[in-house]
Structure 1
Amino acid sequence: MNDLNALFRKRIGIKEGEKLTFEGLDDILERIAKTIPFENLAIISSNINDINKDNIINKVLVRNEGGVCYELNAALYFFLADNDFEVTLFRGVIYNQGWTTIGRTHVAILLDHEGQTYLVDTGFGGNLPLKPVPLNGETVISPNGEFRIKKENTEHGNYILELKLKYKDPDWKIGYAFDSTNPVGNVAELNEVQTIISEDPQSPFNKHRLITRLTNRGNITLTETSFTQWVDGKVTREEIDGKRFNELMKQHFDK
């Protein structure tokens, strides 16, 4: 078993010799969401490196950091490929009260299994499906809410991920659009995404520190000014300063 495979299993707590199955992906995705945080700390500290397999392994699995979509989903992509899943990476355009202006900067995975294609995403902050979502329009329900993919041609692709987060969304909302016919040919292409996310003035991830992960009963989100916890549908928010930020980082994210 190679380093990435062994390290990934160790980080999320599954046995080295355990054979991965499609049916077991739900458990893997939940483990990742609760263990590996979505964070932009390296971007804020200008401590970024080229996107390649070795650097992804080092950041996420050796130094035990988190990352943003192109890091977390790249790590999962390599792990799934090493375990004989048919996977490709793709780039999508986020919708947040309108399509984002920085282009195809969301990175996620398409997985083929028994003639069906599924979206797999562990890099979408608190919006994670926690299950493979089929491209046939079927709704999947997970501890984080309901998710479905609508086939619809837009200027950004031929599919749209829609979601309804548990306790948070009364109605369906758009997550992002993507083009299933335009996969990422080489992981080096993600360096373009990294440049946009880390340098573009319109990027939401290059201004203030953010770190979030799911928990057994909801999720936690830490920024430089607040700490927000969702527990069984109830939300609490604490206004914080720099000292408290560091305390909470150590307490909840082992940093």
Structure 2
Amino acid sequence: MNPHEYDVDQLFRKRISYPENEMITFEKLGEILEKTATAIPFENLCIIANDTSQITKESLLKKISIKNEGGLCYELNAFLYFFLLDNDFNIRLIRGVVYNDHKNSWNSVGRTHVANLLEYKGETYLIDTGFGGNLPLKPVPLKGRSIASNNGEFRVRKLVTEHGDYVFEMKRKHKDQEWTFGYAFDSNQTVHTFSELNEIQQTILEHEESPFNKRKLVTRLTKNGMKILTDTSLTEWNDGVMKKTEVDEQGFKEAAKEHFGLFRS
């Protein structure tokens, strides 16, 4: 298939098993986000293998749709961006700084998180399908109202930090008792070029504080929980109950294929 013949709309629908002729309305976005989160894994295998390529619209479609791989935030949310743009939504990509729970500080790697802001009927919403297992499965309004989905509660709060004017917060099911920071972002700074996404990819690949260049990580939400695969274990959460299985190199390959549909290892 010639890259220029890629049909974003149809490839995205096929990847998440969504009807090819159904009109995408704002009210359907929750269903779209849930299907995306359960179909496409959040994974860093290209980073670990040092096998990245220049990010373009065509390369994203080929990686996620044709090769059935997953990706990190700058890939998954860009893929979603092109799909929603193709369906006539007023949407743009923005960058954020992730909060490090363990260090109780903003990540020193910088503005490497990528998400979407969508305008609908005079209101702005955060849409994110690239934050690992911490995904809001519905659009989150910037006016502070929390939304609830089967994996927790999420909200965006107006709060000026050194990294922007808003913070994304979460109260994850079976995990958080109180609201906790996810990331901070500047609602006025839009990602305009692929060079920014490539810069983010390079930072994640090379920065010594990058959380994604140390060990393999694959995660995907499920209907009742999530699955997390590393180079040493497969962890499955189902209705708050955890099952953990140790894996070796061969076990990783088998689990990546069986649980996430991935053949790259």
TM range (shorter): over 0.9
Shift of 1:249: 1.3
Give 2:205's match in structure 1, choosing from 189, 198, 206.
Answer: 198
User: Distance in 2 between the 1:250 and 1:178 partners?
Assistant: 35
User: Distance in 2 between the 1:205 and 1:17 partners?
Assistant: 37
Give 2:54's match in structure 1, choosing from 40, 50, 53.
Answer: 50
Shift of 1:18: 1.1
Q: Which amino acid aligns with 1:195?
A: Q
Q: Identify the residue that residue 156 of structure 2 maps to in structure 1.
A: 149
Matched, 1:158 2:165: yes
Q: Deviations over 1:103-126 (max 9, x none)?
A: 000000000000000000000000
Q: Could you tell which deviates more after superposition, 243-252 or 14-23?
A: 243-252
Q: Identify the residue that residue 113 of structure 1 maps to in structure 2.
A: 120
Shift of 1:187: 3.0
Contact 2:225 2:237 in 1 (8 A): yes
User: Distance in 1 between the 2:197 and 2:14 partners?
Assistant: 26
Q: Deviations over 1:194-237 (max 9, x none)?
A: 00001111111011111010111100000001111110111122
Q: Which amino acid aligns with 1:190?
A: L
Provide the aligned C-alpha RMSD in A: 1.1
TM-score, length of structure 2 as denominator length: 0.94
SS of the residue aligned with 1:87? Answer: strand
Give 2:8's match in structure 1, choosing from 4, 25, 31.
Answer: 4
Q: Deviations over 1:49-83 (max 9, x none)?
A: 11110111111111110000000000000000000
Give 1:239's match in structure 2, choosing from 203, 223, 246.
Answer: 246
Matched, 1:62 2:69: no
User: Distance in 2 between the 1:160 and 1:29 partners?
Assistant: 20
Structure 2 unaligned segments of length 5 or more: list them.
Answer: none
Q: Identify the residue that residue 35 of structure 1 maps to in structure 2.
A: 39
Shift of 1:2: 5.8
User: Distance in 2 between the 1:186 and 1:19 partners?
Assistant: 28
User: Distance in 2 between the 1:103 and 1:254 partners?
Assistant: 31
After TM superposition, the structure 1 = structure 2 runs for residues 209-224 of structure 1, keeping only pairs within 5 Å, are 209-224=216-231
Shift of 1:149: 0.8
User: Distance in 2 between the 1:23 and 1:188 partners?
Assistant: 33
SS of the residue aligned with 2:106? Answer: coil
Structure 1 unaligned segments of length 5 or more: list them.
Answer: none
Q: Percent identity?
A: 55
Q: Identify the residue that residue 77 of structure 1 maps to in structure 2.
A: 81
Contact 2:6 2:58 in 1 (8 A): no
Q: Which amino acid aligns with 2:180?
A: K
Where has structure 1 moved over 4 Å in runs of 4 or more?
A: none
SS of the residue aligned with 2:259? Answer: helix
User: Distance in 2 between the 1:187 and 1:252 partners?
Assistant: 31
SS of the residue aligned with 1:204? Answer: coil
Give 1:17's match in structure 2, choosing from 21, 35, 38.
Answer: 21
SS of the residue aligned with 1:185? Answer: coil
Q: Which amino acid aligns with 2:90?
A: E
